[in-house]
Amino acid sequence: MVETLTPTSSPSSWWRRWWPHSHRRWIPTNTTFLSAHKALLAALWLAFFFSVFYWQRDAAGAGDLLIFRRAFPSRMLPKLRPVAFNLTDFGAVGDGITLNTAAFESAVLAISKLRKKGGGQLNVPPGYWLTAPFNLTSHMTLFLAEGAVILGIDDEKYWPLMPPLPSYGYGREHPGPRYGSLIHGQNLKDVVITGHNGTINGQGQTWWKKYRQKLLNHTRGPLVQIMWSTDILISNITLRDSPFWTLHPYDCKNVTIRTVTILAPIFEAPNTDGIDPDSCEDMVIEDCYISVGDDGIAIKSGWDQYGIAYARPSTNILIRNLVVRSMVSAGLSIGSEMSGGVSNVTVENLHVWNSRRAIWIKTAPGRGGYVRHITYRNVTFDNVRVGIVIKTDYNEYADDEFDPKAVPILEDISYTSIHGEGVRVPVRIHGSDEIPVRNITFHDMSVGITYKKKHIFQCSFVQGRVIGTIFPAPCDNLDRYDEQGHLIIRSIHQNMSDIDYDF
């Protein structure tokens, strides 16, 4: 997060707060002297304020006030491959105006010729490097120095069109081709995107506006999309203002995403999900901060009949040590496109703050697939509207050809060490006669609530158990066990519905 220093009083009072009183006793009371020094202090304060303002200018776009950009100290870049190139070696200019697509493409081509020698590294130095979309290659490290900003050009005519994703049937927002991602890769092995916290900025504002005005004819492209690839590491960078989903690994294996910051406005930045693992296997997401305009993380595996036919589940995913905010959707979601199945997911040490929902599983009749063997452990809610949500009527379909009899299976889901405060509805599990929720477990839960209404632990068509004592009191659909695992009360109300969307 970027914290902005805002003066709340006059320069003189600011100075007095920070200068100890014992150090002020020598100051003479001569009015002229004081006036001169007040003027001096005011000038110093203004200089300090504008220094901070323009230093934080790095978080904005590149088009304004270029002369005031922060100067970053020279920092040795690690050599992670046998051969390292600098983007400027290929004629790039980091002024935020010059289009550098050819330089990126030439650099990637040079690295592609080094595959048998261990690949190559492309260093992006401090500056604003405007570019159209470009592709990565295998055995490549893209290294963004501190102060390096890769800027996506915001004119869609520079963005290539690609076939629809096979597990989605057609472009997610429009039939037909979709826009590619700013940084793209297919059928790759051994790719690293890292740095000294440099930034990839999609300049999504133009895209969001055109989307709201219905001026786009194709589905918007992600910021970074890696498809059908293995051994991917993304770390120590900032991703911001994606036109669409921010980081989208699609049908990949052995993916690690670590110490990544992902940012977009929390309102009016539609579909800017943070990380969307899609039909991925063996994946770790850890030590990240995400604040975006849609789901912080959304685990997917294809949409309706197309996802069922593609048949690639998302499985063996570990998510830990994250701080996430989503005022529009949820901190961490599974679905709603989960038709290929989602299983063996562990989420631990997750903090969701100032969000509409915290953790959400969403699906519908027609999706097919399954969500099973999901573990949530040590999750904290801080000022969220709804904490735990399972929704089985998320009725948004790829087209009219879906099979309404293809109902998903939801089972073996556990919530342990769930704590928080400022939560309106701690639990809302909305199963149905078609899609019951089976074998769900709650253990060690204490959530401070903002509404003292009776039905704030809401259930419908749910079978499972509560171990020990939890707060607030659970719904009657669940069996009660003591801490030693002995059955106390067997529920006879599993199909009872107590869902209330009015608060």
CA 298, distance to chain mean position in Å, is 8
Helix (H, G, I), strand (E, B) or coil at 288: strand
DSSP class of 113: T
E strands in 207-339: 224-227, 230-235, 238-240, 247-250, 253-258, 261-263, 281-292, 297-299, 314-326, 330-334
CA–CA distances in Å: residue 363 to residues 26, 146, 254: 72, 41, 26
Helix (H, G, I), strand (E, B) or coil at 197: coil
> Alpha-carbon distance 428 to 447, whole Å?
14
DSSP calls for 306-362 = HHHHH---EEEEEEEEEEEEESSSEEEEE-SSBTT-EEEEEEEEEEEEEEEEEEEEE
Helix (H, G, I), strand (E, B) or coil at 160: coil
196 contact partners, CB below 8 Å, separation of at least 6: 75, 77, 144, 145, 146, 236
Q: Which amino acid is at 355?
A: S
294 classed as catalytic: yes
Helix (H, G, I), strand (E, B) or coil at 427: strand
Contacts 24+ apart (CB under 8 A), 448-453: 448/420, 448/421, 448/422, 448/423, 449/423, 449/424, 450/422, 450/423, 450/424, 451/424, 451/425, 451/503, 453/503
Q: For residue 448, report the phi and psi dihedrals to the nearest 5 degrees.
A: -75, 135
User: For the purposes of burial, counting CB atoms within 10 Å of the CB of 347, is it exposed (0-12), middle (13-18) or buried (19 or more)?
Assistant: buried
Query: In this structure, are residues 217 and 194 in contact, taking their beta carbons and an 8 Å threshold?
Result: no
Q: Which of 273, 276, 278, 294 is catalytic?
A: 294
Q: Catalytic residues, which ones?
A: 294
